Amino acid sequence: MLPELGNFAIILALFFAIVQIAGPFVRVSGLQYTAVFSQFFFLAFAMLCLIFCFINNDVTVLFVRDHSHELLPLIYRIGASWGGHEGSLLLWCLILSGWTAFFLIFSLMKKNIPNELLTKIIMVLGYVSTGFILFLFSTSNPFKRDFPTEPISGNDLTPILQDPGLIFHPPMLYLGYVGFAIAFAFAVAVLLEGRLEKNWAHACRPWVIMPWSFLSCGIVLGSWWAYRELGWGGWWFWDPVENASLLPWLAATGLLHSLIVCEKREAFKGWTLMLAIITFALCFLGTFLVRSGVIVSVHAFANDPDRGVYLLGFMAIVIGSALVCYLLRIKHFYQPPKFQLFSRETFLLLNSVVLISAVATIVIGTLYPIVLEALNLEKISVGEPYFNTVFVPIMLPALFFMGLAPHVSWGQQTVITLWKKMRWTLFFSLLITALFPIVTGFEFHVLTSLGIFLGIWIIFATLQLFFQMKNKSILPVSAMMIAHIGIAILVLGMTLNKSYSVERQVKMLPGESVNLAGYQFTLNNIHEMNGPNYQSIAALFNVQNNRGKEFSVTSEQRIYLSHNQAMSKAGILVNMWRDLYLALGTSFSDGAWSVRIYYKPFVRWIWCGGFMLLLGGFLSLITFLQKKGERHEAI
């Protein structure tokens, strides 16, 4: 009964999505808005049906049969409802309609968007939503049933997904990914209108900042999950699926900055609209890459070529029509630049150029092997060494400008005043970079020093802003400061981790020890443990630092009963300055075990930096809400 209700709810949601498109043509007051909320209601209902099917472990539903098992713990059953293609797509649609409903309520309350425009935005969103719900219903229906003649049990969720990461990472990522649909719809609606309201950029900004914050957090959560789960302590592999989430993030970062110029200086309007389209196009591309099966990835998902064709076709229609709108209407938005070459505007444009080049690099790196293979030319792999050689040099100057740009004036600036303002900051950043290897005893490398310099430079230059602020409200600036410092901390974490991580692979018998990076690791004992749906061999290690302090940590090899597949569950000792990461490998005939031990300095900084982006985003949102409030009081 439940699956049929869910299925019916999807059909109703599809109907309301179509009504949402028809809104501007059928002038029945409130019809379109009702459609938005009804659609959200029915998709939420469908999602709940699916979750209950999982909780009941209803194996007559094919999607549940493929991803659940009677032994699977409840929390992962709930997570499993988006742990496969069909459910994850339902989540996609649900989040899209959720954003739409939230946007609508917010805009109706704030009254900051004219009705004409609002109707058009909702229409464009309806267009996207219809396509996705149709896709869900026709090619990836999660409620498809099959009644087995004899009792069977489910295939269970892939062990690699059975982790708290599954509960948080996909919804967070989708909140980001899908949220950019609003900015896209905004841009297309503005193009359809053919004119820009004065407060357009201001009204659009939260709809870029919120998804951007969620996406930052989602990417960071994904990296943290991979770090713990895949058993080698890597936090980024330039895997196509990871790239797919980074692409819209980079474009949205460009959009975020470009919108500021739009709002404050009434410039870059055309370019900002273009960036909004590009950002959502990249979300589409990401969905296509992940869901179609054209890529080989470590994050294995269920794939099917038919879905790829549908998604590609739908993407061509949505993005293609947006681009046609753009080409037809863009001349209305063109303005000659009203600023000098050396000005904050130029730096912010430069930011866009660099970020879009970075996007292009990743797109090229991800798609090139696919294209070469499709043309039957050659089979190549593009991985970390390529991106380190091409992507990193493109981003480095951008990081330097990130510290500098907030100090440059709007309109124009002379080099000499900027130099006078920044020289001491530059000097101290260089000084600390030079002192770093001497004080800490870490080995000196040129590229490492460059990374350290950029991180410290951004932090100092950003803090300098704080001290130079004269009786201005601190909140608006602090959002930017926290986000920029977050990036600096991210850069420092990545640089130091890449440069100074050390590891040993050893063969250990119980009672034996190994020294690494000033720690002594002793294998205490090996014992068996039983989990809810797995058996594991657990190795208990004692770790002693050079001041004699002791810790203990367990590293496991789990065998999941339903899959008969071994999974390494690393033991990790965490603090602010370093992680100690122990992964249990295979056993030898003499009772010894292979163990990989990693010392990973500053790895936490990477995730701290990422969470600072989320924090910065939310602060900026508070500013947005507050500012409006103050204005109302003033009136």
Largest CA distance in the chain: 83
Instruction: Give the residue with the Cβ less far from other proteins, 102 or 342.
Output: 342
Instruction: Give the residue with the Cβ less far from other proteins, 62 or 370.
Output: 370
Instruction: Give the residue with the Cβ less far from other proteins, 15 or 386.
Output: 386
Instruction: Give the residue with the Cβ less far from other proteins, 55 or 372.
Output: 372
Q: What is the smallest separation between the CB atom of 504 and other proteins, expressed in angstroms? A: 6
Instruction: Give the residue with the Cβ less far from other proteins, 192 or 226.
Output: 226
Q: What is the smallest separation between the CB atom of 316 and other proteins, expressed in angstroms? A: 22
Q: What is the smallest separation between the CB atom of 543 and other proteins, expressed in angstroms? A: 14
Q: What is the smallest separation between the CB atom of 603 and other proteins, expressed in angstroms? A: 16
Q: Hey, which residues does 505 pair with through a beta bridge?
A: 596
Strands 513-516 and 565-569: unpaired
Instruction: Give the residue with the Cβ less far from other proteins, 209 or 241.
Output: 241
| Amino acid in position 529 | M
Q: What is the smallest separation between the CB atom of 231 and other proteins, expressed in angstroms? A: 8
Q: What is the smallest separation between the CB atom of 206 and other proteins, expressed in angstroms? A: 28
Residue 588 Rama label (left phi>0; alpha psi -120 to 50; beta): beta
Residue 350 Cα to chain centre, angstroms? 23
Q: Which of 569, 575, 571 is nearest to 549 (CA)?
A: 575
**Rounded CA separation 35/212 (Å):** 27
Q: What is the smallest separation between the CB atom of 344 and other proteins, expressed in angstroms? A: 13
Q: DSSP string covering 268-285, please?
A: -HHHHHHHHHHHHHHHHH
**Rounded CA separation 506/514 (Å):** 8
Q: What is the smallest separation between the CB atom of 98 and other proteins, expressed in angstroms? A: 32
- Which spans of this chain sit near other proteins (rule: CB under 8 A)? 230-232, 234, 237, 239-240, 296-300, 336-337, 339-341, 346, 349-350, 353-354, 356-357, 360-361, 364-365, 368-369, 372, 377-386, 389-391, 394, 503-509, 511-515, 523, 568, 585-586, 592, 594-595
Q: What is the dihedral of CA 387, 388, 389, 391, to 10 degrees?
A: 60
**Rounded CA separation 82/287 (Å):** 14
Q: What is the smallest separation between the CB atom of 560 and other proteins, expressed in angstroms? A: 15
| CA atoms within 13 Å, Cβ hemisphere of 46 | 35
| CA atoms within 13 Å, Cβ hemisphere of 145 | 13
Question: What phi and psi, each to the nearest 5 degrees, are found at residue 192?
Answer: -65, -40
DSSP 504: E
Instruction: Give the residue with the Cβ less far from other proteins, 377 or 635.
Output: 377
Instruction: Give the residue with the Cβ less far from other proteins, 410 or 618.
Output: 410
Instruction: Give the residue with the Cβ less far from other proteins, 33 or 333.
Output: 333
- The first and second tokens of residue 74, run together, are 């409840």
**Rounded CA separation 2/60 (Å):** 11
Instruction: Give the residue with the Cβ less far from other proteins, 380 or 474.
Output: 380
Instruction: Give the residue with the Cβ less far from other proteins, 189 or 382.
Output: 382
Instruction: Give the residue with the Cβ less far from other proteins, 230 or 454.
Output: 230
**Coil/strand/helix, residue 319:** helix
Instruction: Give the residue with the Cβ less far from other proteins, 57 or 545.
Output: 545
Q: What is the smallest separation between the CB atom of 359 and other proteins, expressed in angstroms? A: 10
Residue 60 buriedness (CB in 10 A; 0-12 / 13-18 / 19+): middle
Other CB atoms within a 10 A radius of the CB of residue 376 amount to 7
Question: What phi and psi, each to the nearest 5 degrees, are found at residue 314?
Answer: -65, -40
Q: What is the smallest separation between the CB atom of 401 and other proteins, expressed in angstroms? A: 12
CA–CA distances in Å: residue 305 to residues 32, 143, 311, 575: 35, 20, 10, 45
Residue 186 Cα to chain centre, angstroms? 22
Query: What value does the CA radius of gyration of the chain take, rounded to a whole number of Å?
Result: 26
CB 268 within 8 A of CB 336: no
Q: What is the smallest separation between the CB atom of 573 and other proteins, expressed in angstroms? A: 18
CB 298 within 8 A of CB 158: no
CA–CA distances in Å: residue 545 to residues 126, 204, 589: 59, 52, 31
**Rounded CA separation 105/610 (Å):** 29
Q: What is the smallest separation between the CB atom of 412 and other proteins, expressed in angstroms? A: 11
CB 553 within 8 A of CB 541: yes
